[in-house]
């Protein structure tokens, strides 16, 4: 009888161990799916207590959700961003200084949504094709007569530093009329001070669909000024032609926005 009891107890222990192992395998499979599939956002951390680890992991997850929201410009008018069904994987890990808790907080991207209310403004878009007019490149001439016996002398007035422009269309026209990237940078710098323009390098561009792109050579020669829109196949406002990504790869590029 004692042998039978011992065998039964040993069998229960084996079954319990197998269940724990299966649970661990399932958890590792979930983590691989979360980290490699691209369908999830997650925050991971290690802390002394379970509550602290969960709190930090959730904070990291919120940061990742905020980054994801930047990929959805239409969400800027949302009342709030909701993230439903956050899940957790919690482990106790044995370190030299004692046990710690490792927590992964994760959520499917499909469970993140923007919530709008009745006060959200309706967005209406209209396309306006901008062309560089010939008159924009014409410099007014001043004519003076030296004497009756001599021919009239045509004198081009000296260029002055461009002033801040209050109308964005006029400011865009002024940029399109510039002869070099250095002249455009002066225009943008003057209007940055009054809050009418912003600009920067491509690594600091957050919302590409809202920005114009200036493509230029090392010499300062302007190759194209691309209209706002998608990254690929933008309209060159100087030529009216569509330009692809290859023009960006072969030259220098900065962006600017007008307000």
The half-sphere exposure of 70 on its side-chain side, counting CA atoms within 13 A, is: 9
* pTM higher than the cut 0.75: no
* Domains and their CATH numbers in the chain: 37-123 (3.10.28), 134-139+156-258 (no CATH)
Residues 6 or more apart in contact with residue 125 via CB below 8 angstroms:
none
The string of pLDDT tens digits covering residues 195-240 is: 888 888 888 887 788 889 899 998 889 999 989 886 678 888 888 8
Question: Is a pLDDT exceeding 80 seen at residue 146?
Answer: no
pLDDT value at position 94? Answer: 74
Residues 6 or more apart in contact with residue 137 via CB below 8 angstroms:
177
What is the torsional sign of CA 160, 166, 168, 169? Answer: negative
H or E stretch at 88: strand 87-95
The string of pLDDT tens digits covering residues 26-74 is: 888 888 999 898 999 999 998 888 889 899 988 898 888 888 888 887 7
């Amino acid at each position: 009888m004692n042998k039978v009891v011992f065998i039964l107890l040993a069998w229960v222990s084996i079954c319990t161990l197998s269940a724990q192992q299966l649970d661990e395998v399932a958890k590792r499979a979930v983590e691989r799916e979360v980290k490699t599939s691209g369908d999830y956002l997650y925050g991971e951390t290690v802390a002394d207590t379970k509550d602290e680890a969960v709190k930090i992991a959730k904070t990291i997850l919120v940061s990742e959700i905020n980054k994801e929201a930047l990929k959805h410009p239409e969400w800027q008018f949302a009342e709030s961003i909701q993230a439903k069904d956050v899940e957790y994987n919690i482990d106790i890990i044995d370190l030299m200084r004692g046990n710690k808790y490792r927590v992964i907080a994760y959520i499917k991207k499909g469970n993140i949504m923007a919530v709008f209310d009745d006060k959200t403004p309706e967005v209406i878009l209209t396309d306006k094709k901008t062309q560089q007019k010939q008159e924009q490149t014409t410099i007014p001439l001043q004519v003076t007569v030296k004497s009756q016996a001599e021919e009239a002398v045509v004198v081009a007035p000296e260029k002055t530093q461009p002033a801040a422009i209050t109308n964005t269309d006029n400011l865009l026209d002024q940029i399109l009329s510039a002869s070099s990237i250095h002249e455009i940078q002066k225009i943008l710098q003057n209007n940055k001070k009054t809050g009418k323009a912003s600009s920067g390098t491509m690594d600091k561009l957050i919302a590409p669909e809202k920005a114009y792109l200036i493509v230029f050579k090392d010499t300062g020669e302007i190759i194209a000024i691309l209209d706002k829109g998608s990254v690929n196949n933008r309209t060159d406002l100087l030529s009216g032609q569509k330009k692809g990504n290859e023009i960006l790869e072969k030259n220098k590029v900065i962006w600017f926005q007008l307000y």
